Amino acid sequence: NAGVTQTPKFRVLKTGQSMTLLCAQDMNHEYMYWYRQDPGMGLRLIHYSVGEGTTAKGEVPDGYNVSRLKKQNFLLGLESAAPSQTSVYFCASSQQIFNQPQHFGDGTRLSIL
Amino acid sequence: AQKITQTQPGMFVQEKEAVTLDCTYDTSDQSYGLFWYKQPSSGEMIFLIYQGSYDEQNATEGRYSLNFQKARKSANLVISASQLGDSAMYFCAMREVDSSYKLIFGSGTRLLVRP
Protein backbone atom coordinates (compact mmCIF):
# COMPACT_ATOMS: atom_id res chain seq x y z
CA ASN A 1 0.00 0.00 0.00
CA ALA A 2 2.92 2.35 -0.75
CA GLY A 3 1.27 4.92 -3.07
CA VAL A 4 3.85 7.59 -3.89
CA THR A 5 7.32 7.18 -2.44
CA GLN A 6 9.97 9.88 -2.45
CA THR A 7 13.67 9.32 -1.90
CA PRO A 8 15.48 10.77 0.02
CA LYS A 9 13.42 12.39 2.78
CA PHE A 10 16.13 14.86 3.77
CA ARG A 11 19.27 16.14 2.12
CA VAL A 12 21.81 18.88 2.66
CA LEU A 13 23.86 20.04 -0.30
CA LYS A 14 26.54 22.59 -0.89
CA THR A 15 26.09 25.24 -3.54
CA GLY A 16 27.08 23.89 -6.93
CA GLN A 17 26.55 20.22 -6.10
CA SER A 18 24.14 18.11 -8.09
CA MET A 19 21.56 15.57 -7.00
CA THR A 20 18.55 13.61 -8.13
CA LEU A 21 15.28 13.19 -6.28
CA LEU A 22 13.43 9.99 -7.01
CA CYS A 23 9.69 9.56 -7.08
CA ALA A 24 8.05 6.16 -7.49
CA GLN A 25 4.35 5.35 -7.66
CA ASP A 26 2.68 1.96 -7.67
CA MET A 27 -0.82 3.04 -8.72
CA ASN A 28 -0.24 2.81 -12.46
CA HIS A 29 -0.96 6.52 -12.83
CA GLU A 30 -0.22 8.20 -16.12
CA TYR A 31 0.41 11.69 -14.78
CA MET A 32 3.20 12.70 -12.42
CA TYR A 33 4.26 16.06 -11.02
CA TRP A 34 7.01 17.76 -9.08
CA TYR A 35 6.16 20.71 -6.83
CA ARG A 36 8.14 22.83 -4.46
CA GLN A 37 6.70 24.29 -1.28
CA ASP A 38 8.07 27.48 0.19
CA PRO A 39 6.73 29.33 3.23
CA GLY A 40 3.70 31.47 2.44
CA MET A 41 3.60 30.41 -1.22
CA GLY A 42 1.73 27.15 -1.33
CA LEU A 43 2.89 24.53 -3.82
CA ARG A 44 4.30 25.58 -7.17
CA LEU A 45 4.62 23.24 -10.12
CA ILE A 46 8.17 22.65 -11.36
CA HIS A 47 7.72 20.01 -14.09
CA TYR A 48 5.20 17.39 -14.97
CA SER A 49 4.75 14.33 -17.13
CA VAL A 50 1.63 13.03 -18.85
CA GLY A 51 3.11 9.65 -19.65
CA GLU A 52 6.24 7.56 -19.98
CA GLY A 53 8.86 9.36 -22.01
CA THR A 54 7.15 12.76 -21.79
CA THR A 55 7.98 15.81 -19.69
CA ALA A 56 6.86 19.42 -19.68
CA LYS A 57 7.67 22.62 -17.82
CA GLY A 58 5.53 23.98 -15.04
CA GLU A 59 5.49 27.35 -13.35
CA VAL A 60 9.05 27.37 -11.93
CA PRO A 61 11.22 25.05 -14.07
CA ASP A 62 14.50 26.97 -14.10
CA GLY A 63 17.42 25.10 -12.54
CA TYR A 64 15.67 21.72 -12.67
CA ASN A 65 15.49 18.85 -15.11
CA VAL A 66 13.29 15.78 -15.09
CA SER A 67 13.07 12.40 -16.71
CA ARG A 68 10.35 9.76 -16.97
CA LEU A 69 11.98 6.71 -18.47
CA LYS A 70 9.58 4.34 -16.75
CA LYS A 71 5.91 4.93 -16.08
CA GLN A 72 6.26 4.40 -12.36
CA ASN A 73 9.25 6.69 -11.83
CA PHE A 74 9.72 10.45 -12.16
CA LEU A 75 13.15 11.89 -11.42
CA LEU A 76 13.92 15.50 -10.53
CA GLY A 77 17.48 16.68 -11.03
CA LEU A 78 19.35 19.70 -9.79
CA GLU A 79 22.46 20.12 -11.91
CA SER A 80 24.09 22.91 -9.90
CA ALA A 81 22.27 23.56 -6.66
CA ALA A 82 21.69 27.11 -5.46
CA PRO A 83 20.53 28.37 -2.05
CA SER A 84 17.30 29.56 -3.71
CA GLN A 85 16.44 25.92 -4.29
CA THR A 86 16.22 25.25 -0.57
CA SER A 87 12.66 24.00 -0.24
CA VAL A 88 10.40 21.06 0.41
CA TYR A 89 9.80 19.07 -2.76
CA PHE A 90 6.68 17.06 -3.35
CA CYS A 91 5.98 14.49 -5.99
CA ALA A 92 2.41 13.67 -6.95
CA SER A 93 0.63 11.37 -9.35
CA SER A 94 -2.86 11.15 -10.71
CA GLN A 95 -5.14 9.21 -12.98
CA GLN A 96 -6.29 10.69 -16.26
CA ILE A 97 -9.68 11.41 -14.70
CA PHE A 98 -10.61 15.04 -14.15
CA ASN A 99 -12.32 14.73 -10.78
CA GLN A 100 -9.70 12.50 -9.21
CA PRO A 101 -7.19 14.06 -6.83
CA GLN A 102 -3.45 14.01 -7.07
CA HIS A 103 -1.78 11.66 -4.62
CA PHE A 104 1.30 13.05 -2.92
CA GLY A 105 4.48 11.62 -1.53
CA ASP A 106 5.66 12.64 1.91
CA GLY A 107 8.07 15.24 0.59
CA THR A 108 11.83 15.77 0.48
CA ARG A 109 13.32 18.52 2.61
CA LEU A 110 16.31 19.91 0.75
CA SER A 111 18.73 22.47 2.19
CA ILE A 112 21.43 24.07 0.11
CA LEU A 113 24.21 25.84 1.93
CA ALA B 1 -3.03 37.62 -11.15
CA GLN B 2 -3.38 34.94 -8.53
CA LYS B 3 -5.71 32.20 -9.58
CA ILE B 4 -6.36 30.90 -6.08
CA THR B 5 -6.59 33.26 -3.13
CA GLN B 6 -6.75 32.22 0.48
CA THR B 7 -7.00 35.42 2.47
CA GLN B 8 -6.67 33.92 5.96
CA PRO B 9 -3.03 33.11 6.76
CA GLY B 10 -4.04 31.80 10.18
CA MET B 11 -7.19 31.03 12.12
CA PHE B 12 -8.20 29.79 15.54
CA VAL B 13 -11.28 27.76 16.37
CA GLN B 14 -12.55 26.32 19.60
CA GLU B 15 -12.79 22.55 19.77
CA LYS B 16 -16.25 21.24 18.76
CA GLU B 17 -17.13 24.44 16.92
CA ALA B 18 -17.46 24.84 13.15
CA VAL B 19 -15.00 26.84 11.09
CA THR B 20 -14.98 28.17 7.53
CA LEU B 21 -11.80 28.51 5.52
CA ASP B 22 -12.08 30.89 2.59
CA CYS B 23 -11.01 30.26 -0.99
CA THR B 24 -11.67 32.40 -4.05
CA TYR B 25 -10.54 31.54 -7.53
CA ASP B 26 -10.14 33.15 -10.89
CA THR B 27 -10.76 31.37 -14.16
CA SER B 28 -12.41 32.07 -17.46
CA ASP B 29 -13.15 28.39 -18.02
CA GLN B 30 -16.67 27.06 -17.56
CA SER B 31 -15.40 23.64 -16.61
CA TYR B 32 -12.99 23.33 -13.68
CA GLY B 33 -12.51 21.47 -10.42
CA LEU B 34 -11.69 22.60 -6.91
CA PHE B 35 -9.81 20.51 -4.38
CA TRP B 36 -8.98 20.95 -0.72
CA TYR B 37 -5.96 19.37 0.91
CA LYS B 38 -4.86 19.16 4.54
CA GLN B 39 -1.21 19.29 5.54
CA PRO B 40 -0.58 18.37 9.18
CA SER B 41 2.66 19.24 10.91
CA SER B 42 4.08 15.90 9.78
CA GLY B 43 4.10 17.31 6.27
CA GLU B 44 2.06 14.96 4.10
CA MET B 45 -0.67 16.24 1.78
CA ILE B 46 -4.05 14.68 2.46
CA PHE B 47 -6.91 15.08 -0.01
CA LEU B 48 -10.15 16.14 1.67
CA ILE B 49 -12.87 17.05 -0.81
CA TYR B 50 -13.62 17.86 -4.45
CA GLN B 51 -16.15 20.15 -6.11
CA GLY B 52 -16.75 20.22 -9.84
CA SER B 53 -17.91 23.41 -11.50
CA TYR B 54 -21.01 21.69 -12.88
CA ASP B 55 -21.90 19.94 -9.66
CA GLU B 56 -25.30 21.20 -8.60
CA GLN B 57 -24.92 20.28 -4.97
CA ASN B 58 -22.22 21.30 -2.54
CA ALA B 59 -19.74 18.52 -1.90
CA THR B 60 -19.67 16.85 1.50
CA GLU B 61 -17.29 14.31 3.02
CA GLY B 62 -17.94 13.48 6.63
CA ARG B 63 -17.24 16.61 8.69
CA TYR B 64 -16.03 18.49 5.61
CA SER B 65 -18.31 20.37 3.28
CA LEU B 66 -17.85 22.92 0.56
CA ASN B 67 -19.80 26.16 0.41
CA PHE B 68 -19.57 26.58 -3.37
CA GLN B 69 -20.78 29.89 -4.76
CA LYS B 70 -20.06 29.83 -8.46
CA ALA B 71 -21.14 33.37 -9.24
CA ARG B 72 -18.83 34.70 -6.55
CA LYS B 73 -16.08 32.28 -7.55
CA SER B 74 -15.67 31.03 -4.03
CA ALA B 75 -15.29 27.51 -2.65
CA ASN B 76 -15.05 27.78 1.11
CA LEU B 77 -14.28 24.72 3.21
CA VAL B 78 -16.46 24.18 6.24
CA ILE B 79 -15.22 21.90 9.00
CA SER B 80 -17.92 20.99 11.48
CA ALA B 81 -17.31 19.91 15.09
CA SER B 82 -13.60 20.78 15.04
CA GLN B 83 -11.20 18.35 16.64
CA LEU B 84 -7.67 18.87 17.90
CA GLY B 85 -6.43 16.74 15.03
CA ASP B 86 -7.82 19.29 12.57
CA SER B 87 -4.95 21.63 13.44
CA ALA B 88 -3.02 21.84 10.17
CA MET B 89 -2.41 23.85 7.02
CA TYR B 90 -5.25 23.74 4.53
CA PHE B 91 -4.77 24.34 0.83
CA CYS B 92 -7.33 25.11 -1.83
CA ALA B 93 -6.40 24.11 -5.38
CA MET B 94 -7.97 24.41 -8.81
CA ARG B 95 -7.73 22.25 -11.89
CA GLU B 96 -8.59 23.80 -15.21
CA VAL B 97 -9.27 21.89 -18.38
CA ASP B 98 -5.95 21.35 -20.09
CA SER B 99 -3.82 18.38 -21.02
CA SER B 100 -1.72 18.50 -17.86
CA TYR B 101 -4.42 18.00 -15.18
CA LYS B 102 -2.16 20.12 -12.99
CA LEU B 103 -3.32 21.78 -9.78
CA ILE B 104 -2.89 25.46 -8.97
CA PHE B 105 -2.58 25.99 -5.24
CA GLY B 106 -3.40 28.84 -2.94
CA SER B 107 -0.99 29.95 -0.23
CA GLY B 108 -2.85 28.08 2.48
CA THR B 109 -4.52 28.76 5.82
CA ARG B 110 -3.07 27.54 9.09
CA LEU B 111 -5.83 26.37 11.41
CA LEU B 112 -5.27 25.91 15.12
CA VAL B 113 -7.94 24.19 17.17
CA ARG B 114 -8.03 25.26 20.82
CA PRO B 115 -9.07 22.75 23.51
Buried-exposed string B78-102: b where 16+ CB fall within 10 A, e elsewhere: bbeebeeebbbbbbbbbbbeeeebb
pLDDT at B26 exceeding the cut of 90? yes
Q: pLDDT, tens digit, for every residue of A57-108?
A: 999 999 999 999 999 999 999 999 999 999 999 999 999 999 999 999 999 9
Contacts of B43 in chain A (CB under 8 A): 88, 106-107
Contacts of A99 in chain B (CB under 8 A): 33, 50, 52
Question: Which residue of B lies nearest to A59 if distances are taken between CA atoms?
Answer: B104
Q: What is the DSSP letter of A93?
A: E
Q: Residue length, chain B?
A: 115
Q: What is the pLDDT of residues A4-51, one digit of tens each?
A: 999 999 999 999 999 999 999 999 999 999 999 998 888 999 999 999
Work out the minimum CA distance from A29 to partner chain B, whole angstroms: 12
Q: Concatenate the DSSP letters of all residues of B49-104 into one string.
A: EEEETT-SS--EETTEEEEEETTTTEEEEEE-S--GGG-EEEEEEEEESSTT---E
